């Protein structure tokens, strides 16, 4: 037998790495719970009860219904349903069949939360596409809003036990927050359109003008843009704390926890930056295209606001460079809000409906489910100057 007592002695320091008592107990408790949830069976029992797989499916009517439907109507229909929008014949298949089936493959809480957020994003995308076509009725918006609320609430519940400093939690929380932000923007856009319709009486034209802002030519609609940038960022912005290996004193450990929060803020700010950069381009194109139909003063005002957007972008980038993520986030958010005002200037006149709102920054968190009163489900009437569309 090889003798390596000397080397064993050299490496004995490694044995200091061990689980703390709390950690060991915590993992043991989780495993015990897991065992009770998923009991062991002997090989014979396992083989003999494979038919129970089918019984399990029989207990879930939706997937069975889905399977039967796929069999009856063919996979092509199901695939075609993926592009369906509310009001289309295939839309119920998309939501109640395709998505339900995909949902059954999400096993862990995080995967389920992820899938719920994705479903919320899909509803947002549908809302923005309908908005772009001027076909987002109040009824449809409310229905989509209700679904989004349901998905985001479920995602919140599912991530309650995830460690708050975990990078997966930060990404999910950021996605959740952006999805909610996009939902609010759509609500506001519809609200503005409704208010304008009430003021001018040129419903269809105005509605299309509102949507034109987001759907101008081949520009991505607002929320789709958000979602796209969000997806782009979600992989690259994961706080890379796996390289965090510095020895920590107690105070340094606290600082490290702060770093985790900063990483969340950083992810948020960078996501907003990408969204803003895209928004600047689309806003610029929007102003140029609208130039022939607006007054010179409206055009100048819109250009002025666009410059303010660019200034906010620059100051946000500066703040980002100095690692002042919350400050950067406020700048980016204000600039994004300005783009809505530019839209108002072009479509309504020189006086924006509302002044630029100073946004209060808050770190992405998943709090207990808010009561419905906290969520802007209803359209708030907005006072608009009664001006004819130019």
Partner 1 sequence: MAQPSQNTEKAFLKAYDEYADAIFRFCMVKVSDRERALDLTQDTFTRVWEYSTKGNEISNWKPFLFRTAHNLIIDYYRKKKSVSLDEMEEEVGFLPSETAGIPAEVYAEYNIALQKLNELDETYRDPVMLRVVEGLSPRDIAETLGISENVVSVRVHRGVAKLREIANENRKK
Q: What tokens does 31 get?
A: 């495993």
Residue 240 touches partner 1, criterion: CB under 8 A: yes
DSSP letter for each residue of 145-193: HHHHHHHHHHHHHHTTTS-TT-HHHHHHHHHHHHHHHHHHHHHHHHHHH
Residues in 250-309 at the binding interface with partner 1, rule: CB under 8 A: 250, 253
Q: How far is CA 178 from CA 88, 172, 196, 221, in A?
A: 27, 10, 27, 15
Binding partner 1 (rule: CB under 8 A), the pick from 204, 246, 373, 380 is 246
For the four alpha carbons of 7, 9, 14 and 20, in that order, the dihedral sign comes to: positive
Binding pattern for the stretch 96-135 against partner 1, x by CB under 8 A and - elsewhere: ----------------------------------------
Residue 247 touches partner 1, criterion: CB under 8 A: yes
Q: Which CB sits closer to partner 1, 4 or 54?
A: 4
> CA–CA separation, 233 vs 332, rounded Å?
16
Q: Which CB sits closer to partner 1, 17 or 321?
A: 17
Q: Residue 195, SS3? A: helix
Cβ 68 to partner 1 shortest distance, Å: 28
| 281 and 185 Cβ atoms separated by less than 8 Å | no
Binding partner 1 (rule: CB under 8 A), the pick from 245, 371, 373, 380 is 245
Binding partner 1 (rule: CB under 8 A), the pick from 88, 241, 259, 303 is 241
What 3 state SS string does 23-87 have? HHHHHHHHHHHHHHHCCCCCHHHHHHCCCHHHHHHHCCHHHHHHHHHHHHHCHHHHHHHCCCCCC
What 3 state SS string does 321-341 have? HCCCHHHHHHHHHHHHHHHHH
Residue with tokens 């519809």: 190
Q: What tokens does 187 get?
A: 């609500």
- Number of residues engaging partner 1 in binding (CB under 8 A): 50
Binding partner 1 (rule: CB under 8 A), the pick from 35, 64, 232, 390 is 35
Cβ 34 to partner 1 shortest distance, Å: 6
Q: Candidates 247-255, 286-294, 316-324, 333-341 — which segment interacts with partner 1 by CB under 8 A?
A: 247-255
Q: Which CB sits closer to partner 1, 2 or 296?
A: 2
Q: Candidates 10-18, 207-215, 218-226, 352-360 — which segment interacts with partner 1 by CB under 8 A?
A: 10-18
| C-alpha of 244 from chain center | 27
Q: Which CB sits closer to partner 1, 17 or 89?
A: 17
Cβ 240 to partner 1 shortest distance, Å: 7
Residue 59 touches partner 1, criterion: CB under 8 A: no
Contact residues: partner 1, CB under 8 A: 2, 4, 6-8, 10-20, 23-24, 27-28, 30-32, 34-35, 38-47, 163, 165-166, 240-250, 253
């Amino acid at each position: 037998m090889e003798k390596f007592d000397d080397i064993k002695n050299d490496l004995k320091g490694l044995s200091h790495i061990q689980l703390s008592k709390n950690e060991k107990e915590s993992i043991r408790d989780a495993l015990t719970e897991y065992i009770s949830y998923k009991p062991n069976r002997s090989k014979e029992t396992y083989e003999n009860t494979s038919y129970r797989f089918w019984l399990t499916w029989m207990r879930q009517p939706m997937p069975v219904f889905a399977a039967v439907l796929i069999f009856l109507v063919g996979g092509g229909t199901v695939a075609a349903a993926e592009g369906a929008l509310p009001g289309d014949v295939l839309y119920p298949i998309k939501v109640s069949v395709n998505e339900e089936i995909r949902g059954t493959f999400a096993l862990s809480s995080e995967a389920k939360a992820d899938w719920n957020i994705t479903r919320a994003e899909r509803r947002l995308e549908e809302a923005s596409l309908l908005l772009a076509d001027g076909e987002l009725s109040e009824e449809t918006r409310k229905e989509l809003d209700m679904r989004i609320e349901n998905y985001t609430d479920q995602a919140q519940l599912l991530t309650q036990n995830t460690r708050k400093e975990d990078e997966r939690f930060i990404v999910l929380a950021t996605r959740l927050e952006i999805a909610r932000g996009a939902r609010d923007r759509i609500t506001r856009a519809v609200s503005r359109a409704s208010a304008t319709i009430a003021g001018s009486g040129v419903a269809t034209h105005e509605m299309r003008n509102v949507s034109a802002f987001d759907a101008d030519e081949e520009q991505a609609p607002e929320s789709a843009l958000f979602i796209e940038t969000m997806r782009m960022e979600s992989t690259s912005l994961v706080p890379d704390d796996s390289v965090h290996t510095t020895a920590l004193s107690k105070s340094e450990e606290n600082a490290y926890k702060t770093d985790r929060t900063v990483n969340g803020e950083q992810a948020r700010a960078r996501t907003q930056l990408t969204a803003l950069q895209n928004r600047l381009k689309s806003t610029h194109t929007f102003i140029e295209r609208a130039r022939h139909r607006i007054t010179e003063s409206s055009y100048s005002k819109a250009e002025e606001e666009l410059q303010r957007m660019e200034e906010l972008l620059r100051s946000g980038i500066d703040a980002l460079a100095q690692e002042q993520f919350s400050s950067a986030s406020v700048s980016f958010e204000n600039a994004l809000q300005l783009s809505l005002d530019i839209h108002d200037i072009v479509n309504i006149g020189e006086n924006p409906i509302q002044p630029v709102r100073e946004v209060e920054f808050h770190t992405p968190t998943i709090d207990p489910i808010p009561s419905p009163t906290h969520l802007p489900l209803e359209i708030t009437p907005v006072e608009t100057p009664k001006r004819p569309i130019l």
